[in-house]
Amino acid sequence: MTRVLKTVWLWLDDRIGISVLLKPARHLAPQDAKWWYVFGSATLTAFMVQVVTGVALAFSYIPSSSQAYETLVFITNNAPFGSFLRALHYFGASAMVLMIGAHMAQTFLFGAYKFPREMTWSTGILLLAFTLVMGFTGQLLRWDQTAAWSVVVASEQAGRIPLVGDWVARFILGGTTIGGATLSRFFAIHVFLLPAMMFAFIGLHLWLVFRHGISEPPVAGKPVNPETYRAEYDELLKKSGKPFWPDLAWRDVIVATAMIVAIGLAAYFIGPPVLDKPPDPSVLQADPRPDWYLLWYFALLALTPARIEGYVMILMPILIGLLLFMIPVLNHKGERSATRRPWAIAVALLSVIMIGSLWWEGQRSPWSPNFQALPLSESVVGTTTGPIFTGARLFHDKGCLNCHLVQGFGGRRGPDLTYIGDKLSRDNLVLRIVNGGHNMPAYGSSLKPAELDALAAFLEARKRSLDQEQHTAENGTRR
């Protein structure tokens, strides 16, 4: 039996050349390339997970504005393993974004973008951009209410591009408004155009890895000199290089396997992203939010001052992309070790802190009104009669509670008013309510004098002393 199998293998290998195809995998690599070097192959593995799960989803998905949502409901609720498959695709995308981020950070900190690997880095930056666009277009294919409004937001953003903005917005929408033509173009981009480009650029990226070799871990005091680097690298491989497959690849296999298991576990225990309401633009009770990997950008758009917002929205991504793309051109030789490049550590750390903080704010979205705010309870108001009680009711009914917190209840868009009575006098409170200011609407024309008095009475009573009295009363009742 073994002999038959061997004969078949030798015949196939001779005719097809499988072992020749696998030859690049046996290229020599520096033996010190250890756990830090696994993120690239992990990204590739996540991409393959996306291809497999994406093709499987396409078996049931209909890219039509009128039917896509129904097919998503069917896949999620009726198709065997459909919910699990959607979850795999979602967590696969998340893993890919995380892994490509880690891969980029490691390459940057190790100075691996320097001579002769400049183009390996640049093709990687393009792959990062494709991955993010895939993430965004993938969210749109969910074609629920959030997806539909996200297309509107994307077209509005594109509209800010000088000169051609209106055209780009029309191209995104497939017309002047969201409609029948919108979804199918995103389907074509997500399923055909971008994957084809990604396959091409992954091929080029891998070819460049084979061509220039896996970079050796940096050593402080050993700068890259383009004139001598190649000879030094060849010498290093001759002296201590090991075949990537199988001597060094086992770490990649372990990490890739662990990642697939993690994707599977997350998909099984957490499930797919919840489907929102159908994509009906006439339903205005919507609260569109991007998936987690673009939440930081959502926060950036909310926090940027209005006068520079357009520049941040359009020019900043272009400038960051160009800068990343050009890094190896600007800095292609010299020290690679991060210990000799403190600015590189600072840039990486600042990027993580900035994106992390924006992501955190995006998660909280304190700038968004809290439309679910309920009237304040008696324990918060402190009374059930009189102008303070009436003021508390008005505080809810007039929408103040949508934006202001009182003892932890309400919105976070404006200042916390729990102890506003300690800070502002009654006259100042009335002035603020009537005239607005500091990003607050003026209520002068929409409040009757009696309503204004009641609101001021309620706010004036928001004092620490009142809070303490309530606590004392509550403790007394418990005793």
Give the interface segment with another protein, choosing from 10-18, 41-49, 177-185, 383-391 (CB under 8 A): 177-185
Q: Is 413 in the site for another protein (CB under 8 A)?
A: yes
By beta-carbon proximity to another protein, the closer residue of 165 and 264 is 165
By beta-carbon proximity to another protein, the closer residue of 55 and 283 is 283
Out of 11, 167, 210, 268, name the contact with another protein by CB under 8 A.
167
Give the interface segment with another protein, choosing from 109-117, 194-202, 242-250, 392-400 (CB under 8 A): 392-400
By beta-carbon proximity to another protein, the closer residue of 223 and 278 is 278
By beta-carbon proximity to another protein, the closer residue of 69 and 110 is 69
Would you give the binding string for another protein spanning residues 38-77, x where CB under 8 A is met? --------------------------xxxx----------
Give the interface segment with another protein, choosing from 87-95, 97-105, 301-309, 345-353 (CB under 8 A): 301-309
By beta-carbon proximity to another protein, the closer residue of 170 and 340 is 170
By beta-carbon proximity to another protein, the closer residue of 5 and 284 is 284
Contact predicate 296/355, CB 8 Å: yes
Q: Is 30 in the site for another protein (CB under 8 A)?
A: no
Out of 1, 15, 238, 282, name the contact with another protein by CB under 8 A.
282
3-state SS string for the chain: CHHHHHHHHHHHHHHHCHHHHCHHHHCEECCCCCHHHCHHHHHHHHHHHHHHHHHHHHCCCCCCCCCHHHHHHHHHHCCCCHHHHHHHHHHHHHHHHHHHHHHHHHHHHCCCCCCCCHHHHHHHHHHHHHHHHHHHHHHHHCCCHHHHHHHHHHHHHHHCCCCCHHHHHHHHHCCCCCCHHHHHHHHHHHHHHHHHHHHHHHHHHHHHHHHHCCCCCCCCCCCECCCCHHHHHHHHHHHHCEEHHHHHCHHHHHHHHHHHHHHHHHHHHCCCCCCCCCCCCCCCCCCCCCCHHHHHHHHHHHHCCHHHHHHHHHHHHHHHHHHHHHHHHHCCCECCCHHHCHHHHHHHHHHHHHHHHHHHHHHHCCCCCCCCCCCCCHHHHCCCCHHHHHHHHHHHHCCHHHHCEECCEECCCCCCCCCHHHHCCHHHHHHHHHHCCCCCCCCCCCCCHHHHHHHHHHHHCCCHHHHHHHHHHHHHHHC
CB of 438 to another protein, least distance (A): 9
- CA-nearest of 311, 315, 312, 274 to 296 is 312
Give the interface segment with another protein, choosing from 11-19, 165-173, 206-214, 264-272 (CB under 8 A): 165-173
Q: Is 306 in the site for another protein (CB under 8 A)?
A: yes
Would you give the binding string for another protein spanning residues 445-474, x where CB under 8 A is met? -x----------------------------
Q: Is 246 in the site for another protein (CB under 8 A)?
A: no
Give the interface segment with another protein, choosing from 82-90, 116-124, 396-404, 452-460 (CB under 8 A): 396-404
By beta-carbon proximity to another protein, the closer residue of 217 and 369 is 369
- CA-nearest of 76, 72, 92 to 84 is 76
Q: Is 431 in the site for another protein (CB under 8 A)?
A: no
Contact predicate 291/135, CB 8 Å: yes
* CA–CA separation, 171 and 299 (whole Å): 25
Torsions phi, psi for 368 (to 5 deg): -85, 135
By beta-carbon proximity to another protein, the closer residue of 69 and 293 is 69
Would you give the binding string for another protein spanning residues 140-159, x where CB under 8 A is met? --------xx--xx-xxx-x
Would you give the binding string for another protein spanning residues 327-366, x where CB under 8 A is met? ----------------------------------------
Q: Is 225 in the site for another protein (CB under 8 A)?
A: no
By beta-carbon proximity to another protein, the closer residue of 24 and 281 is 281
Q: Count of residues binding another protein (CB under 8 A)? A: 67
- CA-nearest of 296, 294, 276 to 286 is 276
Q: Is 4 in the site for another protein (CB under 8 A)?
A: no
Q: Which residues bind another protein (CB under 8 A)?
A: 64-67, 148-149, 152-153, 155-157, 159-160, 162, 165-167, 169-171, 173-183, 278-288, 298, 301-302, 306, 309-311, 314-315, 367-369, 371, 397-400, 402, 413, 436, 439-442, 446
